[in-house]
């Protein structure tokens, strides 16, 4: 069986697809877009480098205003910029970013704080919980690129440049 791969035919056994993790979150989908194909004479090293360096999301961001670190709210695809001040997320008026359409989010659910150029997240003592890549958050944790943050049942992806 063969399949078309960018204007050239390759045998199906020449393609390896990385395993899926995290239940199919956006970060996994982005990682799976690059398939490892055994080297053929038609593909030069320069072409391979160009293919691996192309990130459609980065290209889209460069068209918009430049963002440093931000949260991507999965339900709405909203980009929430993170700056030099702490950001609280919750459903009440005491939060900086208010989620009105999810009853499982508590009034002040979590706080993201910049410290020495890095971002850290803290659960604000919620019953529904805060999770980092599926692991319950029990103390303040440093955020790193492309991790999934779940507040109750609301998913965000932390992005940084």
For 75, how many CA atoms within 13 A lie in the half-sphere containing its CB? 10
pTM given for the model = 0.58
> pLDDT value at position 35?
44
Question: 97: closest CA among 80, 78, 121?
Answer: 80
Banded pLDDT at 161 (limits 50, 70, 90):
confident
Instruction: Encode pLDDT of 114-146 as tens digits.
Output: 999 899 999 999 999 999 999 999 999 999 889
Question: 86: closest CA among 124, 128, 132, 121?
Answer: 121
Task: List the beta bridge partners of residue 90.
Answer: 98
Instruction: Encode pLDDT of 17-75 as tens digits.
Output: 666 555 544 444 444 444 444 444 454 444 444 444 545 554 444 444 445 899 999 99
Class of CATH domain 70-159: mainly beta
The boundaries of every CATH 2.60.200.20 domain in the chain are 70-159
For 2, how many CA atoms within 13 A lie in the half-sphere containing its CB? 8
């Amino acid at each position: 069986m063969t399949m078309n791969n960018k204007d050239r035919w390759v045998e199906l056994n020449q393609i390896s697809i990385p395993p899926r993790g995290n239940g199919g979150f956006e970060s996994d989908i982005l990682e799976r877009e690059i398939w490892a194909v055994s080297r053929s004479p038609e593909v030069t090293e320069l072409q391979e480098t160009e293919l691996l360096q192309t990130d459609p999301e980065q290209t889209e961001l460069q068209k918009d205003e430049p963002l440093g670190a931000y949260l991507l709210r999965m339900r709405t695809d909203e980009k929430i910029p993170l700056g030099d001040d702490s950001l609280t997320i919750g459903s009440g008026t005491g939060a900086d970013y208010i989620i009105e359409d999810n009853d499982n989010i508590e009034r002040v659910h979590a706080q993201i704080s910049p410290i020495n150029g890095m971002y850290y997240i803290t659960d604000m003592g919620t019953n529904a919980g805060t999770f980092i890549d599926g692991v319950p958050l029990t103390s303040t944790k440093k955020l790193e690129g492309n991790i999934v943050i779940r507040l109750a049942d609301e998913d965000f992806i932390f992005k940084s440049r």
